[in-house]
Amino acid sequence: MNLVEQLENLFFPLPCSCPLCGRKQEKLQICQECYQRLIYRRSQYGQCQHCATFGYRAKACSNCRHWPQYFVANYSAWPYQEEYRAVIKAFKFGNQPWLAECLAREMLPFLPADYDVLVPIPLHWTRLRERGYNQSLLLAKALSKLSGLPCQEYLVRTRATKHQVELSRKERKSNLQQAFAVKNNENLKQQKIILVDDIFTTGATVLTCGQVLHQAGAKYISSVTLASGVD
């Protein structure tokens, strides 16, 4: 732990509790009881092997059956429901950026091997100003620290869009058209990229970003998200 981290811990100590149930812990982390309950839920629901949507036990589902070959897979740790949804909303909208490293630890086991770089999904500057931080960038930086993979902000959001949660599956895709671009004409030739985001639902966001990265030369793309929808 460096001096800056020591000072942060001294003046802004993190809560020593489980963010899911509030049980006191030695540090901010998911408690053993919540972890065991999560393992049970995963086994009960099943997950699509391609996009990690909960509620499937198949190699592909309606979300991902027609994905392009360059987009390899999505990987997710949590089902987006109940207490998991509440924690993500607190992290994303409740001004709790300090949850990032704790949540990134949940994502770490799901990082695919043999990739070059972590790339966060960007926010438009208007939403960044409103929220104060990009939760996907915080997760990507924390994952970089934990995994050793570099984090690069290759993407920029070129226009403000509606919140995806407000839209139908069809509307989500059109909402994101021409919403992303590669920053500063980065040379991504043959790069193997992991996109980082908080939630995966229909896959419209990561697929749109993946297409932009592939057109810029990326060899193939996967994504890792904290949570996926439950069908």
- Dump pLDDT digits (tens) for 74-102: 999 999 999 999 999 999 999 999 999 99
CB 221 within 8 A of CB 195: yes
Residue 195, beta-bridge partner list: 119, 223
CATH topology of domain 48-228: Rossmann fold (3.40.50)
Mean of the pLDDT values across residues 53-64? 94
Domain ranges of the chain: 48-228
Nearest 10 degrees: CA dihedral of 160, 165, 170, 176?
20
Given the structure tokens 């193939």, which residue do they identify? 220
First to last CA, the chain: 42
Render pLDDT for 98-108 as a digit per residue (tens, 0 to 9).
999 999 999 99
